[in-house]
Structure 1
Amino acid sequence: MSDSNTTDFTNPSTFILLGIPGLERAHVWISIPFCTMYTIAILGNFTILFTVKTDLSLHGPMYYFLCMLAITDLVVSTSILPKMLAIYWFNSREIDFSACLTQMYFIHCFSVMESGIFVAMALDRYVAICDPLRHSTILTNSVVAKIGLAVMLRSSLLALPFPFLASQWPYCRTNIIPQQYCIHMAMVKLACTDTRASSYYGLFVVFCVIGLDVFFIAVSYTQILRAIFSLSTKDARLKTFGTCSSHLCAILAFYIPCLFSALTHRFGHNVPLHFHVLIANVYLLMPPMLNPIIYGVRTKQIRDRLLRLFTHKGT
């Protein structure tokens, strides 16, 4: 039989992103909330960066980590939203193989980086509450910079195997990705070779890296809560706990969709595909939108600075 009608995807030059399979007719309507989320994420995170930069009283460890978080959220959302909107609005579904690998790297790298930043912020809260007199001497600017560098190097190195392994696989089945962007598990399902090593490594990143981060955060907050409950008055306990509330809300907004998305991808075989895709979108887009809102509303210093900024502009 002639092979002229078969296509060789061993070295595909492009992949086809389907968007949300089964909901193609609703793409334009679905784009509205996602575009709104992206707009809020861009405006909110740039506002956080501008506020911290222009107010010298906010030049401290907590706000430096918050700026790192804002930059991470901007990169994550920008790495996926423009292509998603191109699919929704212009049916532009093709993506170059190299661009697909690059997008995969950025998504996984900065997702791991965000988790590391939450650990750093938990450390800051632990020192500020459990050893407040030494906070300024322990978390100096150089130490904060070293922590940020360590978080960046860890995420960069951990995410590197994903595109490297994917670039080595033969793709002899199809080059169609039933997603809106390139992620590791979507590429694994297209490869026609043994991908167990890559799948095991993906599980290692999810359970060991994210799991260890959650463990360290839990240990920090166990000590923080012990210190809070040892305070003499209820007002003091509530005021101290209030300094942690924004961090706790941001943690929940990140880790709950993250773990749910990872588990449904690997074990939710009976879950509809469009539900997988929508959950993945929530996991990647919700935190960048919510984080600046949470910190803007719950952090008194940022809230006061923003109020002064808008008041001066209005007068």
Structure 2
Amino acid sequence: MPDLNHSTVTEFILTGFPGLHPEYRGLVSAILFLIYVLTLVGNVTILFLFATNHSLHKPMYYIILNLSTCDILFSTTTLPKIISKYWFDSGTISFTACFVQMYFVHYLGTVNSFILFLMALDRYVAICHPLRYPIILKNSTILILSITAWVLSQPSNLMITIRAYPLPYCASNIINHCYCDHIGITILACTDRAPYGFPAFFFAMFSLLGPLAFIMFSYCSIILAVLKISNINGREKILSTCSTQLIIISLYYIPRCFVYLASNVGIQFSADMRIVIIMLYSLLPPMINPLIYCLRAKDMRECLWKQFDRHIIQQKTQVSSIN
């Protein structure tokens, strides 16, 4: 039974990138701030286009809407604190705030994984069962599945957070990371973390590998279906519609699987290298995803150009009225 007393630990200290030379802290904070701004601008643009263009009210874009919302929330959960560490030398985070951040980090990561599952489901039905697509995946169906993803992701992550909170933290309060996560916190507990670490690892693998298994199945089925098409232009068109999602899914899963696999086969990373890889797969996809949507998704691209044209026309009208 863990001691409910937190002992002397009332706050944690985030190290960020442990080996970073002080003279580069300003540059790193500027880069992180730029990533945060680009992430917000890009994903808010997606939300704006969806809200102002009825033509985007389709199942695929409802899924993208969920992904953009998740990306905004995840970046807002993780980036401001680490930016303030390097900008204002404020790396401390209160005991409770650290656990709140840990919950949202894992919760939003789980939601993200399930949303990517929905993206793969959408493409699988659209390509392998095109005649049944309007029946199977209606807007209402995607809405229900999306709400389910957000709701079902809560209990497991809330449980591991609640179980970790009362552990006795009586030694170091230094977390070698840019944000609070389950491993970074629980290794500081003055008790055996195995009973707490295993359930967290199990839920992490379930939320990562479960959707990934279906994603691999769906795209294997899609490839087989495409190979049966004799029309080369038809093949290229279908592959083009899938390439956007494959890029997004690859950015999310490949680095994660690499880190998990490397840690289990004995490949060792320096603390800085591990944190850099984790930050890359945590922060780059939310920043890059909107760019991929707007460049690759035809409907989204057309809506974006319409907004630019409308803005230019309004400016010309204002100039003409002034003259």
Q: Flag the 1:268–1:296 CA change in 2: closer, same or farther, 3 A.
A: farther
* Partner Cα separation in structure 1 for residue 263 and residue 143 of structure 2: 35
> CA, structure 1 residues 155+225, in 2 after alignment: closer, same or farther (shift >3 Å)?
same
For 1:9 and 1:122, how far apart are their aligned partners in 2?
A: 44
Contact 1:264 1:276 in 2 (8 A): no
CA distance in 2, matches of 1:311, 1:268: 55
Q: Which residue of 2 aligns with 1:18?
A: 15
Deviations 1:142-171 (A, max 9, x none): 211210122112221221123112202111
Whether the aligned pair in 1 keeps the contact of 2:6 and 2:167 (CA below 8 Å) is no
Residue-by-residue CA offset, 1:217-242 (whole Å, 9 max, x unaligned): 11111221122122220000100111
- 2:93 match: secondary structure: strand
Give the distance between the partners of 1:39 and 1:191, measured in 2 at CA.
Answer: 35
CA distance 1:268–1:76, shift in 2 (3 Å): farther
Amino acid corresponding to residue 294 of structure 1 in structure 2: I
Shift of 1:262: 3.9
Residue 120 of structure 1: which of 88, 94, 118 is its match? 118
| In the alignment, structure 1 residue 254 sits paired with structure 2 residue 252 | yes
How many angstroms does 1:51 deviate by? Answer: 0.9
Q: Give the paired residue count.
A: 308
Give the alignment of 1:89-104 within 5 angstroms: 89-104=87-102
**Residues of 2 paired with 1:56 and 1:182: CA distance?**
39
Q: Which residue of 2 aligns with 1:183?
A: 181
CA 1:196/1:132 → structure 2, altered by over 3 Å: closer, same or farther?
Answer: same
Residue 35 of structure 2 corresponds to residue 32 of structure 1:
no
Q: Using the alignment, how far apart are the partners of 1:275 and 1:131 within structure 2?
A: 44
Q: Which moved more, 1:202-211 or 1:228-237?
A: 202-211
1:24 to partner: Cα distance: 4.7
Query: What whole-Å deviation, never above 9, does each CA across 1:78-122 have from its counterpart, x for those lacking one?
Result: 101110111010011111111100100101000111010010111
Out of 41-50 and 153-162, give the one that drifted further: 153-162
Q: Which shows bigger deviation, 203-212 or 251-260?
A: 203-212
Instruction: Give me the whole-angstrom Cα distance separating, in 2, the residues matched to 1:102 and 1:145.
Output: 27
Give the whole-Å Cα distance in 2 for the aligned partners of 1:85 and 1:184.
21
Mapped contact 1:11–1:170 kept (Cα < 8 A):
no
Shift of residue 190, structure 1, vs aligned partner: 0.6
TM-score (norm 2): 0.90
* Structure 1 Cα separation of the partners of residues 90 and 264 of structure 2: 28
Offset, 1:302: 0.6
Correspondence 1:1-315 to 2 at 5 A: 10=7, 12-25=9-22, 26-263=24-261, 270-315=268-313
Distance 1:46 1:89 in 2: 25
Residue type at the aligned position of 1:156: Q
Q: TM-score, normalised by structure 1?
A: 0.93
Whether the 8 Å contact between 1:65 and 1:120 is mirrored in structure 2 is yes
Cα distance in structure 1, aligned partners of 2:298 and 2:266: 41
Whether the 8 Å contact between 1:9 and 1:175 is mirrored in structure 2 is: no
Note the C-alpha offset of 1:43. 0.7
Aligned-pair identity (%): 37
Residue aligned with 1:160, SS: helix
> Cα 1:169–1:266, aligned 2, differ >3 Å: closer, same or farther?
farther
Instruction: For 1:13 and 1:24, locate their aligned partners in 2 and report how far apart those are by CA, in whole Å.
Output: 28
| SS of structure 1 residue aligned to 2:191 | coil
- Measured after TM superposition, the shift of residue 22 of structure 1 is 1.9
CA distance in 2 between partners of 1:159 and 1:269 (Å)? 28
User: Partner letter of residue 298 of structure 2?
Assistant: K
- Amino acid corresponding to residue 14 of structure 1 in structure 2: E
Give the 3 Å change call, closer, same or farther, for CA 263–163 of structure 1 in structure 2.
farther
The one-character-per-residue Cα deviations of 1:17-50 (angstroms, maximum 9, x if unpaired) are 1221121512211122222211111111011111
The equivalent of 1:3 in structure 2 is: none
Q: Name the aligned partner's letter for residue 165 of structure 1.
A: R
The separation in 2 between residues aligned to 1:139 and 1:72, in whole angstroms, is: 21
Q: 1:186-228 CA distances to partner (integer Å, 9 max, x unpaired)?
A: 0122111011022212321333331111110111112211221
What are the ranges of 5 or more consecutive residues in structure 2 without an aligned counterpart?
Answer: 314-323
Moved more, 71-80 or 30-39: 30-39
Amino acid at match of 2:115: I
The Cα offsets for residues 289-312 of structure 1, whole Å up to 9 and x where unpaired, read as: 111111111111111111111122
Q: For 1:229 and 1:169, how far apart are their aligned partners in 2?
A: 55
Secondary structure of the structure 1 residue equivalent to 2:187: helix
